[in-house]
Structure 1
Amino acid sequence: MKKFFLYSAGFIAAIIALCLLVPVVGLLLSGALLAAGLHYYTGSKSTFGKVMSLVVAFVGLISAISNIPGFIGLVAIGIIYYIYKSRKNEKVEIFTSNKEEDPFTNFEREWAHLNK
């Protein structure tokens, strides 16, 4: 029964993602416009260039914020990804931090080892 609900949710999310594919592309283009405006702002030397770059970035930001169907499509794509990973019994970790690679944790562990 659990797999039935999982596949049903995946099917519904797939339909939503396909229906909202064009707004997701629009959201991608708005994000690219925002990124281009910020990139050219940091590289511009003149005041006019900085103002025009900020205008382009502001237009991209307003366009991205107003694109609510694009965000819903991204959520549907995320749900499909989660269902795909859970079907294969893989653990889905979005934000991970490996404590073994943290230099402060390693330093504290080595310092404690030296003080023994």
Structure 2
Amino acid sequence: MKKFGYLLLGGVAVIVLLSNLAPMVALAISLLIMYFAYKGFIKTTSTFNKVVLAIIGVIALFASASNLPAILGFVALYVLYVIYKNWKKPAKTKLVEDDDPFTNFEKEWNDLKGNY
């Protein structure tokens, strides 16, 4: 049943990821343009270049803000990663000896006596 839940959640995550793929690429490109505009703004000494790079940076900032729903695509990508990592994990089971009160008593008694 756990695998079915993972499969269902993975299917939904794939659909969300594919529907947000184009905004994710546009967000990455606009953030890259904004980064290079900022780096150029810091390095230049010319006032004209600073104004041009500031305008480019503001336009890239607005483009990034318009692609903010692409974060859902990154969340879906992370969900797919977590599902992939947990797919082969065995289910946690209790050990039979932990249920036995006498075994636990013997362990505690040996710890109190100093017999390890």
The normalised TM-score by structure 1 is 0.69
Cα drift, residue 37 of structure 1: 0.8
**CA deviation map 1:3-42 (0-9, x unaligned):** 2111211111011111211111111111111111111111
* Stretches of structure 1 lacking an aligned partner (at least 5 in a row): 90-116
* Stretches of structure 2 lacking an aligned partner (at least 5 in a row): 90-116
- Superposition pairs of residues 1-116 of structure 1, within 5 angstroms: 1-89=1-89
Query: C-alpha separation between the residues in 1 aligned to 2:83 and 2:62?
Result: 32
**Partner SS for 1:45:** coil
When Rg is computed on C-alpha atoms for both structures, the one with the higher figure is: 2
Greater relative contact order structure (CA < 8 Å, 6+ sep): 2
> What corresponds to 1:102 in structure 2?
none
Cα drift, residue 88 of structure 1: 4.3
**CA deviation map 1:68-116 (0-9, x unaligned):** 3311111111111121122244xxxxxxxxxxxxxxxxxxxxxxxxxxx
Query: C-alpha separation between the residues in 2 aligned to 1:6 and 1:60?
Result: 38
More helix by share: 2
The normalised TM-score by structure 2 is 0.69
Query: C-alpha separation between the residues in 2 aligned to 1:84 and 1:57?
Result: 38
Q: Name the aligned partner's letter for residue 57 of structure 1.
A: G
Aligned CA distance change for structure 1 residues 73 and 43 (closer, same or farther; 3 Å): same
Q: Name the aligned partner's letter for residue 59 of structure 1.
A: I
**CA deviation map 1:44-67 (0-9, x unaligned):** 111111121111111111111121
Moved more, 28-37 or 67-76: 67-76
Aligned CA distance change for structure 1 residues 88 and 65 (closer, same or farther; 3 Å): farther
Query: C-alpha separation between the residues in 2 aligned to 1:7 and 1:43?
Result: 50
